[in-house]
Structure 1
Amino acid sequence: MTFTPARRLRTLDDVFLQIRDAILAGEIAEGGRLPNERDLAGRFEVGRPTVREALRSLEALGIVEIRPGRSGGAYAARPSEATLGSALSTLVSLQGANAQELAEFRLSFEADTAWWAARRADADDIAALELLVAETRRLLKQITDDWTPLTEADARWHEALARATKNRLRIGISLGLHEPRVRQAPALGDAHARYARTIPTALAKITRAVKAQDAEQARSAMLDHVAQWARVNPDVSDLATGG
């Protein structure tokens, strides 16, 4: 592991990138301890606050784990699917993605996810999907005026479907879509309630197709499911299913 003095311009970015690249290149193994702040500051020829801020940024990305205590310090970590999901959720929030953009993205992404899930899902995946379908049915019977629990269960089902694809990128992106979808739901009011009533039936249909390993049927059913949300959403228009 070799670090060079940080460039005078944007020293924080340079420190961040050098440490990140060293971890991603395997120069610092997962779980390996990084040099302490004083040592890093000396190698980079920067102040300790700059090193500390770079490490905190790396921790936020899941690349570094900072442990407290006498035996603590900064350790190399392996980013997870949740890391990608958190970054995507933050990006969507900061950029203010609207309902139209979210629906357009979901249409193709969710349909392809269903297609891959039908090809790769194992018995545990099917069991998880069926359990969540049962949960949505139970929640629908219990709802009075708060549709949030059902919306969250719907999002968890989509995350479980992504896990069935065995594709870490799809899992991460699905995790990132959870918060924006749940956050937008209350603003739709009665329109969301009309859509939410269709959730258990739609998820059950997709789950059956995945269980039968019918990729095309799974894709078609998912297109219908996402399009149904678009039809009751006044902020979404011209959403062709491309079925």
Structure 2
Amino acid sequence: MSIEIRGGVELPAVREDIELHTSDGLTLVGELSTPYDHPPVATLLTLHPLPTAGGFMDSHILRKAAARLPALADLAVLRFNTRGTSSPRGTSEGEFGHGTAEAADLEAAWRFLESRALPHVWIVGWSFGTEIALKFARAYGSDGVILLSPPLHRASDEDVAAWAHDARPVIALVPEHDDFLQPTEARERFAVAPNIEVIDVPGAKHLWVGENYTRRVLDEIVARTNPSALPLPTAGD
């Protein structure tokens, strides 16, 4: 019997509760999801939205990426709670660091993926997570960066401009009706790094609510990380 792949559908994968250990002595909780019976072809290191506004590793786009993409696109997906953030998986130690102390959280996630020798890592940030990526991800040898709903609050023009001569692809998906940064202003703010690809998403809002927008985001991620997996199926056994 075929089921529609939407909402909370969770496809087969190996899902492992993991811990990350930061350079300043904190333990962060997370999950690594990998394809069920073969190695991944690429890896997503995900950074969640603002924890003081309800963001965590289970924020829906990241949860659905982990639920679907190991099976549909042969991707590994790392999700974790940044310092001081709670979810059903547990609570990461420490306190919210306002996008500064979280540099050590990204470092811990990167070192974990290196320890597992996971391939072709792409850093995927959503909202607050884009700020961490823009400020600190240049230090790591990722294949590229994907920014979902970048608010450009904590990431300065200087942080953005620092990417201008980076050869890696950086893609910003900007919702038409975003609460913080809409496409026209986004193009102006990102102009200091013209190599960053800004993609307008008509009709979308900051939280990407609705299955059509979930699929658009996941399609854009897969188009960069494993394009041979497209088009993603919308139903399965």
TM over 0.5: no
* TM-score, normalised via structure 1 length: 0.24
* TM-score, normalised via structure 2 length: 0.24
Of Structure 1 and Structure 2, which has the larger fraction of its residues in helix? 1
Larger Rg: 1
Of Structure 1 and Structure 2, which has the larger fraction of its residues in strand? 2
